[in-house]
Amino acid sequence: MITGLGAAALITGTAQAGPKFYFGEGKDLEIFLMGQIWGVYGTNVEIPGTTGLKENKGDIYIRRGRFGFKGHLMKNLSWKIWFAHDNLGRDDLNPVDAARGAVKTSGLTYSKFEVWDAYFTWSADKQFANISFGYFRPQIGKESITSGFAVLSFEKGLPNFYVRRHIIGKPDKGTSEEYGRASGNGRIFLVNWGGLYKAKGWSLNWNLGVGDNQNYTDLKNWSPLWSARVAVSIGDPEMKKYKLGYKQTYFRKRNGIINWPQLRIIREKVLTEQRVTNNLIRMRCMA
């Protein structure tokens, strides 16, 4: 399909916090925005429907786009709703798709505007009882429940896409009425109980959810989806406070079993003491 594919050039932006408005005690509204722009270039890309015709092909598009709103209706009741506009401006003949044999030739657009998450979280107890309900991801699989803006690689790995489709049982089938309308974003309507217990030197983070992931059913045949995740952290916790959202790394801001900042301080003290001792030995030898 393709004899040469140039490395993807990526311009990526992190989450940008917008204005925040306050409406009295415990009530606020924040606007936020995220974006990733990709530029890809392929050489000798085969043109579908032709014989022996190849050409170089480049494409620049918005790989990921998000904007949304979040805030508090009261001190212990938070909410979040955000939208996705992925692959905006992406060509049908894209070098990345050509390399994996998935070129679209029907003129369909890749871009899809959809609700990404929409949920409330009631923190009856911020440590032990956080109840979330709405449209969001079952809390299974670190890659799946971590934002694409918080991973180390340019693109999320297969544990993200396979897990999402397997858990909810709804592969992205587009708009075909024969198979039903579904999205492969891994979201369903869910009620989730979660918490974060922090002790000295370790922490426990847990989530237990139940949701409806079926397209067509009745009460007799209804089979809910149960999901659960338990994580024990040695050292600093996964997060400072409970939330539905993770990061793959905190870039040395989070300490594991070894407290690296403290270790550097100890090392510097030891080196200083060694230098002082060596100087004293030299002085005595000279005397």
Residues 99 and 159 in one domain: no
pLDDT class of 8 with cuts at 50, 70, 90: very low
Residues 189 and 247 in one domain: yes
Rounded CA separation 196/194 (Å) = 7
CA distances from 7 to 38, 40, 154, 161, 202 (A): 11, 7, 11, 22, 41
For residue 286, being part of any structural domain is answered with no
Residues 229 and 188 in one domain: yes
For residue 230, being part of any structural domain is answered with yes
Q: What confidence score (pLDDT) does residue 204 get?
A: 94
For residue 283, being part of any structural domain is answered with no
DSSP 8-class letter at 102: -
DSSP string covering 17-33:
EEEEEE-STT-EEEEEE
For residue 203, being part of any structural domain is answered with yes
For residue 277, being part of any structural domain is answered with no
Q: Where are the beta strands (DSSP E) in the chain?
A: 2-5, 9-22, 28-46, 54-74, 77-86, 112-125, 129-136, 188-199, 202-212, 225-234
> End-to-end distance of the chain based on CA atoms, in angstroms?
81
Look up residue 199 and give its two tokens: 């002790």
When divided into structural domains, the chain yields a total of: 2
Residues 79 and 167 in one domain: no
Domain boundary among 74, 89, 110: 110
Look up residue 61 and give its two tokens: 């598009």
Residues 97 and 126 in one domain: no
- Residue found under tokens 């539905």: 244
Bigger pLDDT: 241 or 159?
Answer: 241
pTM recorded for the entire structure: 0.74
Residues 128 and 236 in one domain: yes
SS3 for 239?
A: coil
Cross-strand partners of 12: 36
Q: What confidence score (pLDDT) does residue 207 get?
A: 96
Residues 96 and 128 in one domain: no
Domain boundary among 87, 110, 133: 110
pLDDT tens string 201-257: 899 999 999 998 766 566 777 778 899 999 998 888 888 889 998 877 766 666 555
Residues 133 and 250 in one domain: yes
pLDDT tens string 90-147: 776 666 665 444 444 444 456 778 899 999 999 999 999 999 999 999 998 888 888 8
Rounded CA separation 139/132 (Å) = 11
Q: What confidence score (pLDDT) does residue 43 get?
A: 76
Q: What confidence score (pLDDT) does residue 99 get?
A: 47
For residue 60, being part of any structural domain is answered with yes
For residue 44, being part of any structural domain is answered with yes
Domain boundary among 51, 81, 110: 110
Q: What confidence score (pLDDT) does residue 185 get?
A: 80
Residues 104 and 208 in one domain: no
Look up residue 106 and give its two tokens: 């029907």
Residues 100 and 175 in one domain: no
For residue 270, being part of any structural domain is answered with no
- Residue found under tokens 């309308």: 181
- Domain with 145, as residue range(s), is 122-256
Residues 96 and 197 in one domain: no
